[in-house]
Structures are given as structure tokens and as C-alpha cells.
A and B are shown apart, each in its own frame.
Chain A
Amino acid sequence: MAIGSAASQATQIVQAIRLPRLILGLCVGAALGVCGAALQGLFRNPLADPTIIGVSGGGVLGVGLVIVAGKALAPGFLAVAGVYALPLGAFAGSMIAIVAVYALSRLTGMTSGSSLILSGIAINAVVAGALGYLTFIAFDDQLRELIFWQLGSLGRVMWESLPPAALLMGASVLLMFRSASALNVYLLGEREAVHLGVNVESMKRQVIVLTALGVGAAVALSGLIGFVGLAAPHIIRLFAGADHRVVLPGSALLGALLVLCADLIARTAVAPAELPIGVLTSALGGPFFIWLLSRYRRELF
């Protein structure tokens, strides 16, 4: 009897807590990996990453606005959107951020690596300022919510919220694969890609919208998880070359693996307490980014 109840308790834990968390980790990792790889292709810059250029931050800001100011500013939106209010906020924030970064980097010259990073700094500064203000005016319970999204965690997932977000992230990943060949040609340059018959504008639109979808959905459920989009594509390129037909699926798999490993460490390192996964990926990702900078400094700056 006792054994049976322990087993059923374990089953329950797996079904209710572990399994959705596992699925979320897979989806978030795959989406961040693929979106990172696609952004690097879109900007023809190996240092692009959803966190570094502010796309994830935009998503978090969107979520923050819904949490803190939603009730006061847009009660109608909250009533209509219901459980989708946060994902919609995240998607809108990510979309605005990526379009802004793209426009800024065009304005200052696409080819220069530093201009992209500087655009990212600008966007992240705006995001940080706005989030700071939201933190300042937030009530205690809102504050806790805000911090959760800024630090990132897979721990809050429930079966109810998982399917729509998983669907969006899955769609973002799978549809992105269709742009692999166009992204390959685009590595040669914008004009060269047109000369080789690529419909560049349509490819860019697809990558931008799919990235906003994937990153927005990832942020909506798990908050800010940095550097996966940077690390996964790089490791794949190191071993398998820069062909996007390999890099995109490879980054999806490796991104999923990285997030699951990070979550494993986050859950067990300071048990019974739990480390926010975003803190962990940033701690590992920061030094990785420095290594990349030193590797690419000659070509990019």
C-alpha cells in the first residue's frame, strides 16, 4: 500500500511537474537556439543574440507592462486576452525590439559589427530604464512577478499554459528551417543574394516575425534566458560549418539540450532551493561572449 502510494506520488510528480517542465525546456531551448542562429544570419553577424540585441528584453518589457500597468491602462485588453495577455505582451515587445534594432543597424550601416552591438545596447538601455520604472511603481506581488520574468525560470509552467506557447515555438522553429537556403545565400551579402535570386525582403520579414514569435513565446513562459541563442549556433558551426541547413536544426537540438542541462543544474545545485535558470545561463554565457569577441574582433570591428 505504502509502496503503491509512493509510486503514484512519483507518477504524479512526473506528470504534473516534471513533464511539462521538460517539454517547456525543450521548446524554449530549441526556439532560442534557432532564433539566435537566424538572427546571426539576418544580421550577417556572429555576435547577434536575442538577449544581446534586446529582443528578449523587449519581450520581458512587454510582459512587465501587462503585469504592472495592464489593469490600470488596458483593462479591456486583459479581459479579452485572458491567459494570452502575457504571451501577447511578450510577442509585441519582442517584435518592436527586433524591428527597432534592425532599423537602427540599417541607419548606421549593416556591415559593421559594432553598429549592431551598439543598437542592442541602446535598446537594452531603453528596456532597462522602462523596467526600472515599472519595478519602482509596482506593488509587492507585481514586483515578485517582474523579478521572476527578469531572472528566468522553467519552474512556473502548468499544463494549461503550455500548449499554445509550445505550438508557437514549434512553428517558429519549423518554419524557420524553410529560410535556411536563403540565409546561406544571404551570407554573401544583400546585393549578392538578390543577384542569386533570393527574395530578400520576404526572407527578412519571415525571419523577423518568426524570431519575435519564438522569442516572445519563450519569454512569456520562462522569462529571460540569455546566451542560449549565442552558444548553440556557435558550437554547431564550430563542428559542422556555417551551412544553415545544418546550423538551424543543429541549434534547435543543442539549444534544447543546453536549456535542459542548465535547468538540471538550476534545480539541483542549491537544493532544496532553486536557482533561476537565467542567472545560470548568463553566468556561463558572459565569459563565452567575451571569448567570441576576442575571436572575431579583427573581422568585425
Chain B
Amino acid sequence: MALELTHVTVTAGAARLIESVTLKVEPGKLTVILGANGAGKSTVLNVLAGDLRAAQGEALLDGRPIAAFSPRDLAMRRAVVLQHTPMNFALCVHEVVALARAPFGLAARDDGAEERAIHALGLAALAGRDYGTLSGGERQRVQIARALAQLWHAGDAPPTYLLMDEPTAHLDLKHQILALEVARRFVDAGGSALCILHDLALAREFSDDVILMKSGRIAARGAACSSLTAAMIAEVYDIPAERAGRLAMDRVNP
């Protein structure tokens, strides 16, 4: 049971967006992808989400090619949070989160998944607000709540996958922590999650596994404490080792 890539290469014209990437998103684990802009992080997530096809290699969900799933079957197994989701129409927060029911149709259980997700992301006070009037950070939390509700509707078995592309990008510190705590709890309850992050401290705090990407390839992987070394950070982000040394330590003094 896993969402996995085996030696996956994705091309766009002559360019190789990612090359021979092998990774596994497993139940009970929160995997974080780190890397510079353009390193191929989002491409990996898009292949896992089923949006992009691998030119070479295999992308599998529980051993079956992702491309073999219908959009609806995939939607019952994995949820995706993208970076920007603007909207010109006046759906309220609760209605947006309730779109999570779409793949399940009338079979969706009325077990309050939307309300719980809205509460989990601290959106209760905004539930009736027009989505279009929200700030970027609030919209992001709504999308995370929507994805969470989608997977809660799917139930526990078989395991479900939460894929988030920079879920903390527009969030303040409090809500960055809240969003990742939500992902953490989802994983602890048996789900699997993959987040693209830019914040080393958050990655260290919340991840089980870290994958560092550089120029379309995986440069390093492992538990955060072992893979986030000064040398590795200096290399992946192409920054001076001395600065990376300070960043690899805990950023905030006790």
C-alpha cells in the first residue's frame, strides 16, 4: 500500500523536468519535499496526483498504474491542495469545503466531515463568508479543509493520500503550525501525506521523511535530523556553507 514513483522521468519538450525519481508515500508517514525553485518538486507532486504522465518509469497507486484509475476513483483515494485557487463566484466557505463530497455523490455519508474539517483549520468564524473575499492565507486553509474532508469522506480503508503543494506559503506562523498539525494528525490516524515546503524548521518539526531535490533529481533523503545537514542544504539550495550551517541548526534560540 503506497503511492510510489519508480525511476520516473517527466519531459516537457526537450527539457527534463524530473529525472529518474524514485520515491514512496506510505501510510503513517508525512513526507516533505524540499528544494530550490525549479528543482522539480511540483512536477513530482503533479505526477503523484495523476495530472502529469511519466515519460519513463512507473507511477503506481497500491501497485496499479495511476493512469489506470478513473478521475473519480482517484478522487476517492487522494486529495490535492494546489498553491493558488482563486474563484470569481460567490460560493461561501462551507460550500467550497462541501465540494469534497463531489466524488462520492449521494453515497457521501452525512457524518459532519465538512464541519470537522472547517473546525480543524480554524475556519468556523468564516464558514458563511464568500470565498472570493478571503485573504490568500484564508483561502489556503479552506482548500486544506476541503482536501481533508474529501479524504474523511473516503474513510480509513484503503489508505488515503494527501498531497499539498506549499500549503503554508501564505499562512502566518500560527496557521503554518496548525496546517501541519492537521496533516500530522491525518497521518497518525493511518493516512499518508506529502507536502512541498520551503521552511526547514517546519520540515524538521513535522516530517517523518525528507526528500531534498536539486535540478530534477533527488539529492538526498531520510529522516529530517539526518538529511538536513549543513553540507546538504548548502548544496541543494546553492548557498554558502557557513550560512547553511546556521540554517541547519535550530533557527530560534532557546
Stretch of A9-17, A137-145, A182-190 on the interface side: A182-190
Answer whether residue A105 sits at the interface, using C-beta atoms and an 8 A cutoff.
Answer: no
Answer whether residue B190 sits at the interface, using C-beta atoms and an 8 A cutoff.
Answer: no
Contact partner, B99, options A185, A191, A199, Cβ 8 Å: A185
Q: What are the interface flags for B19-61 relative to A under an 8 Å C-beta threshold, 1 for contact and 0 otherwise?
A: 0000000000000000000000000000001110000000000
- Whether A187 lies near B100 (C-beta < 8 A) is no
B76-122 residues with Cβ-Cβ distance < 8 A to A are 76, 78-80, 82, 85-92, 95-96, 99-100, 102-103, 105
Answer whether residue B145 sits at the interface, using C-beta atoms and an 8 A cutoff.
Answer: no
Answer whether residue B137 sits at the interface, using C-beta atoms and an 8 A cutoff.
Answer: no
A182-211 residues with Cβ-Cβ distance < 8 A to B are 182, 184-185, 187-189, 191-192, 194-200
- Whether A194 lies near B89 (C-beta < 8 A) is no
Answer whether residue A78 sits at the interface, using C-beta atoms and an 8 A cutoff.
Answer: no
Which residues of A have CB within 8 Å of B73?
197
For A47, the closest partner residue in chain B by CB is B88
For B150, the closest partner residue in chain A by CB is A196
For the complex, what is the distance from the CA of A197 to the CA of B101, rounded to whole Å?
A: 10
A195-B75, A197-B72 are contacts. A185–B88 as well, Cβ < 8 Å?
no
- Whether B91 lies near A241 (C-beta < 8 A) is yes
Answer whether residue B71 sits at the interface, using C-beta atoms and an 8 A cutoff.
Answer: yes
Answer whether residue A237 sits at the interface, using C-beta atoms and an 8 A cutoff.
Answer: yes
Name, among A111, A188, A189, A296, the residue most crowded by chain B CB atoms within 10 Å (CB to CB): A188
- Whether B99 lies near A188 (C-beta < 8 A) is yes
Which residues of B have CB within 8 Å of A46?
88-89
Contact partner, A296, options B50, B74, B86, B88, Cβ 8 Å: B88
Shortest B82–chain A CB gap in Å is 6
For the complex, what is the distance from the CA of A113 to the CA of B50, rounded to whole Å?
A: 28
Q: How large is the interface on B (under 10, 10 to 19, 20 to 34, 35 or more residues)?
A: 20 to 34
Answer whether residue A160 sits at the interface, using C-beta atoms and an 8 A cutoff.
Answer: no
* 21 residue pairs A–B, Cβ–Cβ below 8 Å: A44-B88, A46-B88, A181-B105, A184-B91, A184-B102, A187-B87, A189-B82, A189-B86, A191-B82, A192-B85, A195-B49, A196-B100, A197-B71, A197-B72, A197-B102, A198-B71, A200-B71, A241-B90, A241-B95, A242-B91, A243-B91
Using a CB–CB cutoff of 8 Å, the interface residues on chain A facing chain B are 44-46, 111, 113, 181-182, 184-185, 187-189, 191-192, 194-200, 237, 241-243, 296, 299-300
A191-B51, A241-B95 are contacts. A196–B102 as well, Cβ < 8 Å?
yes
For A299, the closest partner residue in chain B by CB is B88
For the complex, what is the distance from the CA of A196 to the CA of B147, rounded to whole Å?
A: 9
Total contacts A to B, CB within 8 angstroms?
Answer: 81
- Whether B51 lies near A197 (C-beta < 8 A) is no
A195-B75, A196-B103, A299-B132 are contacts. A188–B85 as well, Cβ < 8 Å?
yes
- Whether A197 lies near B90 (C-beta < 8 A) is no
- Whether A242 lies near B85 (C-beta < 8 A) is no
Shortest A277–chain B CB gap in Å is 29
For A238, the closest partner residue in chain B by CB is B90
Shortest A234–chain B CB gap in Å is 11
For the complex, what is the distance from the CA of A182 to the CA of B71, rounded to whole Å?
A: 13
For the complex, what is the distance from the CA of A188 to the CA of B146, rounded to whole Å?
A: 11
Which residues of B have CB within 8 Å of A189?
82, 85-87
For A296, the closest partner residue in chain B by CB is B88
For the complex, what is the distance from the CA of A185 to the CA of B102, rounded to whole Å?
A: 7
Which residues of A have CB within 8 Å of B99?
184-185, 188, 196
14 new A-B contacts at CB < 8 Å, known A44-B88, A195-B80: A44-B87, A113-B88, A181-B105, A182-B102, A184-B99, A191-B82, A192-B85, A194-B50, A194-B51, A195-B49, A195-B78, A197-B73, A241-B91, A243-B91
- Whether A199 lies near B71 (C-beta < 8 A) is yes
- Whether A237 lies near B72 (C-beta < 8 A) is no
For A199, the closest partner residue in chain B by CB is B71
